[in-house]
Structure 1
């Protein structure tokens, strides 16, 4: 029964993702935003909110083990995006290579360098904060917040503009309208967000039940199990866009979420907890940074990123962490 419960939740998330990707493209078109801003900011923030609530609630309303879960969830999100997220994007690009004409993922040239550059700098600072004296941590919090503000400015002002309505396709709630009203666009985005939020909540509850049933430790649940459930919206959005050959939106949705999850969310953890990181937490952070760094170097050299490369690096790093966790290496 629990597996039917999970399947239904996934179906709701997928339907919400379809409405969300279509609606947020129209919103970007109406606002005249760059494609990179639509993927890295609008879509990334919208779909990052469900998993953001896990550490926020755990930290602000709990203590002790709850703080441990909160810190694990904060670090689990970037880890999952940089490993499972990259792996699924790469695998999809490979599977659809005939339809797409290539297994390469080709976002706007500046997107990966910008997003991953911000992520690498911010996440390194957030992890370094664990080794700094308490007096320095408020400074780190301010720097992380300002870093995200700088990222927003760069994302909104740079990159290619969104395409035309023909390129985007009709708004799903108004398929016959060539120029849908902003109210309809916002209504579809909000409706989709509620579907995603509801589906993610149900999915997390189901996964939590299974984790408890199989005796998974709180930190490992927060690092491995909860994020793979709550990252489903980003992953589904990206897979939909990748299928439509909208690589800037597809990859920007993941890398933009990585920037969000490495700045504002760690700032909450650093400010409200003692921010002591276990071996498992540090290992997940090191793997996320390594995966992002390799993708950054690849994009900087080639101007794109290979599907096989994303699939192999992301998948191998995730499997390494799982094996270490299962063998009790943490």
Structure 2
């Protein structure tokens, strides 16, 4: 029965993601936003809410060390999952859709990818480095992370060409017969589809939690490895849909924009309300996420594109390495 619920929730998330991406694109057109802002800010923040709720609930409403472990694990699990499984799936889609796309590469706007990942590398390094600082200095890190994200959003909202320029946005799925839908219908589709995604992710998390309890998985490992699989699904499904439609800037921006959010706002919560004492497993997961981001950053900077098969191998390899270390007891 658990597996049936897991499968059904995946279908719900996929349908919700289809409507959400379509609605967010139309919202970007209506508001005259830059294309990079749609993927890196609107879609990224919206779909980041499910995984943000896990550490918030665990840290602020939970009790005991287990709740602290779940909170910190969820905070670190999101960037790790995006930097490994996220890139892996993006690369896999280019392989599966090579006939449709007629290429095995992703061609996002290089400057936008460099902007997002440059921020991630700076902010996440700062957040991890806070674990080595005395408690009195950590509020300074929190302020820096929050201020940096505000500056990032301000820049993203104005940088790049407008959403819809050179893209086939397609009709609003809620009212496909309307060529120029009103803003209220666009907002209703975005909000409703997000609630559908959130509901599907909640069911999936519950099912994964039952399986974790059944197999005796430790709270920190559950939060780091298992929960993000469900909570990152909105970002991943959105990106896969955009890759299928050939909208690589939106697809990569959704992943890298979520990494920006998960490297600044969410760690600021953990640094503020927990002891922020990281385990070896936490440091290794952070190192892998940062290494993955560095590789993508340097590749885009040097070549201007991402080769799908190599992106797939990198993400899969890093994730498999970490899981192997955990299973073997090395971490």
TM-score between the two structures when normalised by the length of structure 2: 0.98
Match of residue 298 from structure 1: 299
Contact 1:108 1:160 in 2 (8 A): no
Counterpart in the other structure of 2:243:
242
2:59 paired residue number: 59
Q: Does the Cα contact within 8 Å between 1:165 and 1:178 map onto a contact in 2?
A: no
- Give the CA deviation at 1:98: 2.2
Alpha-carbon distance in 1 for matches of 2:62, 2:167: 49
Q: Look up the match of 2:14.
A: 14
Quick check: 160-169 or 255-264, which moved more? 160-169
Superposition pairs for residues 41-52 of structure 1, below 5 Å? 41-52=41-52
Going from structure 1 to structure 2, the CA distance change for 1:165 and 1:124 (only over 3 Å counts) comes to closer
SS in 2 for 1:28: helix
1:134 paired residue number: 135
Alignment-derived partner of residue 75 in structure 1: 76
Aligned to 2:26: 26
Correspondence for 1:160? 161
Instruction: Indicate the residue corresponding to 1:37 in structure 2.
Output: 37
CA shift, 1:164, in A, is 5.7
- The two structures have a TM-score, normalised by structure 1, of 0.99
Mapped to 2, the partners of 1:108 and 1:48 lie a distance apart of 22
- Going from structure 1 to structure 2, the CA distance change for 1:4 and 1:313 (only over 3 Å counts) comes to same
* Cα RMSD (Å): 1.0
Q: Who is 2:184 aligned against?
A: 183
Q: Unaligned 5+ residue runs, structure 1?
A: none
For residues 85 and 179 of structure 2, what CA distance do their matches in structure 1 show?
A: 37
Q: For residues 16 and 97 of structure 2, what CA distance do their matches in structure 1 show?
A: 23
Q: Which residue of 1 aligns with 2:105?
A: 104
Tell me the distance in 2 between the aligned counterparts of 1:137 and 1:90. Answer: 37
Partner of 1:323: 324
Question: CA–CA distance in 2 between the matches of 1:164 and 1:324?
Answer: 46
Distance 2:119 2:236 in 1: 21
Distance 2:326 2:38 in 1: 36
List gaps (5 residues or longer) in structure 2. none
Aligned residue pairs total: 330
- Residue by residue over 1:103-152, the C-alpha shift from the partner in whole angstroms, topping out at 9 and shown as x without a partner, is 11111121110000000000000000000011110000000001101110
Per-residue CA deviations over 1:156-206 (Å, capped at 9, x if unaligned) read 111121116981000011111111000000000011010001000000000
1:234-261 per-position Cα deviation (integer Å, ceiling 9, x unaligned): 1100000000000000010000000000
Summarize the Cα distance change of 1:294–1:268 in structure 2 as closer, same or farther, 3 Å threshold.
Answer: same
Query: What is residue 205 of structure 1 aligned with on the other side?
Result: 206
Distance 1:166 1:260, change over 3 A: closer
1:2 paired with 2:2, answer yes
Say if 1:129 and 1:303 are closer, same or farther in 2 by CA, change over 3 A. same
Determine helix, strand or coil for the equivalent of 1:81. helix
Detail structure 1 runs of 4+ shifted over 3 Å in the superposition.
Answer: none
2:286 counterpart residue number: 285
CA distance in 2, matches of 1:150, 1:122: 12
